[in-house]
Amino acid sequence: MNLRRLLSCSALAVAGLATAALALDRIFPPDLSRYQTRSTEVVDANGRLLRAFTTADGKWRLKTTVDDVDPAYLALLKAYEDRRFDEHWGVDPLAAVRAARQLIERGRIVSGASTISMQAARLLEPRPRSLLTKAIQSARALQLEWRYSKREILAIYLTLAPMGGNLEGVRAASFAYFGKEPRQLSVAEAALLVAIPQSPERRRPDRRPDSAQIGRDRVLARGFEHGLIDQPQLDLAANRPIPSRRLAMPMHAPHLAAWLAGQSPGETVPTTLRFELQAALAQLVTDERRRMADGAQIAMVVIDNRSGGVVAWQGGSDFFGRAGQVDLVRSHRSPGSALKPLIYAMAFDDLALHPESLVEDVAVRFKDWLPRNFDRDHQGAVTVRRALQQSLNVPAVLALERVGPQRFLSTLRSAGVLPGLPPSDTGASLGIALGSASVSPLELAELFVGLANGGQFAPPIVRRDQPRPTPVRLIGPAAAWYVADILADAPLPEGFASLRPALRERRIAYKTGTSAGFRDAWGAGYSANWTVVVWVGHPDGTPRPGQLGRIAALPIVFKAFGRLPGEDNRAAPPPADVLHVASWRDLPPRMRTLGPTAQANGGPRISYPPADAQIELGAREAIPLSAAGGDGRLRWLVDGRPLEGTKWTPDGTGEARVAVVDDAGRSSAVTVRIVRRP
């Protein structure tokens, strides 16, 4: 009876203790706030660290899991700090007995009984050293073991272990002392990081290298004692130098990282960037900036056309310089002529123009505005293909007049682009064709990706944890193909006539832009797989005389393509509805020509010959030309070639474009067909 009663009382006592422990666990759960208050990390598509940020209390505290560190580090850590970590329940009674015996025998502490679980508890809730603190840490260690797995407890220690100064955790220390992830640690490096937390300030390698080396060598000796490393490894590791200084934390894509970190503080932000490409193109930007005597900035964005993800983002070329923290990839600037491909694409899609359509590059006044080409000259009648390749201004303005500036802006907005307009501009200005509406490099890249994808547009993605927006078709495949076909055959800039075969055959469609006053130089190019946009200039808009987009930005675009992975270099087959013609005369009548129309404010109107007339002539017979209205002397052109006087003697038969221009630059034109009288 006494034994039965004793057993019953014992069971009740155990049940009571278990109930009390469970109640205390619920009432006083572990405080994980320090562990959860970590540095914001921005990582690339494969999880490589691009940039990290200190916590609110100024600590580098990077999340570190068991999978983030080299197995040799974990083996040395357990051998040195807690050999029975994988077996005990948070408190190691054998270690406690050993520590007590050594204290009694030697009168001083020889080895501690603190387990990794107890150290994790201490790091979560730092307290002054005392027997009560040790008891609380022991209870917390048991609580951690009850609630979490061994891997999770290790993650707490690996993230919070003090590493000297404001460094906490193994990853932060590995970057600061060795410039790499802890998965890549050598034996000597792993041993040093095991040693530092025992006395983080006294063993800081950048300030106390001798003490750090002593601590490291003790860890190595323990590893050799337990068979974790052999004699050659021990000798090699012991002879490795101690790092003498702290390194800067990774600083890749700093502008983008700062923007994303502001959206998700304390989190790990996964991006679509590719570390190798980001590093290679950042180096290219740095090298190119050294060539610029005036210290201009360079911004670059590169997008994978297939996924819509940004793979490289360089918001400027001097992050710590004057205005260096302005993210120029997202800053609105005047694109100059860089939007012209979109204007022509819409005109192609309307079946109002074709690459072989004839357009008149003549002096034309639009109300009180007289646009001119960069060289202040005009080329007369040219094909749309040539007008776009040569970036002629008047033809682009005429095309925008046909498309409609407000409709053009509406299409850009539907694509996710928000052009900036001057305060007095309601969106009806034809100056949009020449850069009066500002866009960012990121937005321009988005538009060119849409062209590369056959007219389907979607905002680019930069966060890997967000879905790609559904593309919207705003331009037909044939129109997009026409633009790519034109731009891919544009003349190369000086110095690039003999491209490497891999780059020359990549078939890059490109366009440049230069804003008024040489403030902004642009280069944009796209291939089947990649789109690259480069902006060069001063953030404050200081002019750079003579620095055209073709000179300052386009060469960087081609060099960037030279650093991108290869792709299928074959040109995409034309869509089924692409119209192949030998010349503008083979086009449907409404697509054959585009020219200035008579202006409502007194521009000249052709009286003879009438529009679309068929005129029968004998050999060497002349046609009298007449017009009404206009100011000053009237000048006549046939197919862009000026005439002397008011009579025209056709050289042969077929269609011809007859135009008249007055001294104010206003004009009108008609198309006629010449046939020979039988």
Q: What is the pLDDT of residues 283-295, one digit of tens each?
A: 999 999 999 989 8
pLDDT band for position 137 (cuts 50, 70, 90): confident
What CATH number did the domain enclosing 669 receive? 2.60.40.10
Residues 280, 281, 282, 283: is their CA dihedral positive or negative?
positive
Residue 87 lies in a domain: yes
Residue 455 pLDDT more than 90?
yes
Lowest mean pLDDT among 49-53, 104-108, 435-439, 625-629: 104-108
Residue 372 lies in a domain: no
Pairing state between β 41-43 and 268-270: parallel
Q: Cα separation of 463 and 260, whole Å?
A: 9
- Higher per-residue pLDDT: 279 or 84: 279
> Where does a domain end: 201, 221, 238?
238
Identify which of 168, 192, 164, 166 has the alpha carbon closest to the alpha carbon of residue 178.
Answer: 192
Residue 516 lies in a domain: no
Q: In the predicted model, what is the mean pLDDT of the chain?
A: 88
Q: How many folded domains does the chain comprise?
A: 2
pLDDT band for position 17 (cuts 50, 70, 90): very low
Beta bridge partners of 168: 61, 162
Q: Cα separation of 199 and 197, whole Å?
A: 5
> Where does a domain end: 180, 204, 238?
238
HSE value, Cβ hemisphere, 13 Å, CA-based, for 23: 6
Q: Which residues of 262-285 are buried (b: 16+ CB within 10 A; e: fewer)?
A: eeeebbbbbbbbbbebbbebbebb
Q: pLDDT tens digit string along 152-199?
A: 999 999 999 999 999 999 999 999 999 999 999 999 999 999 999 999
Q: Cα separation of 518 and 620, whole Å?
A: 50
Residue 505 lies in a domain: no
Residue 415 lies in a domain: no
Residue 100 lies in a domain: yes
- Higher per-residue pLDDT: 28 or 236: 236
> Where does a domain end: 221, 238, 255?
238
Residue 470 lies in a domain: no
The residues annotated with a catalytic role in the active site are 81, 337
pTM higher than 0.85: no
Residue 595 pLDDT more than 80?
no
Lowest mean pLDDT among 137-141, 544-548, 562-566: 137-141
- The rounded percent of the chain whose pLDDT value lies above 70 is 88
Q: Is residue 609 reached through a cis peptide bond, with omega within 30 degrees of 0 on the bond before it?
A: yes
Q: Cα separation of 559 and 496, whole Å?
A: 10
**Contact between residue 268 and residue 551 where contact means Cβ atoms under 8 Å apart:** no
Pairing state between β 509-514 and 520-526: antiparallel
Q: pLDDT tens digit string along 122-134?
A: 999 988 877 787 8
SS3 439: strand
What CATH number did the domain enclosing 225 receive? 1.10.3810.10
pLDDT band for position 624 (cuts 50, 70, 90): confident
What is the residue range of 209's domain?
A: 50-238
Q: pLDDT tens digit string along 201-241?
A: 999 999 999 999 999 999 999 999 999 999 999 999 999 99
- Higher per-residue pLDDT: 575 or 105: 575
Residue 195 lies in a domain: yes
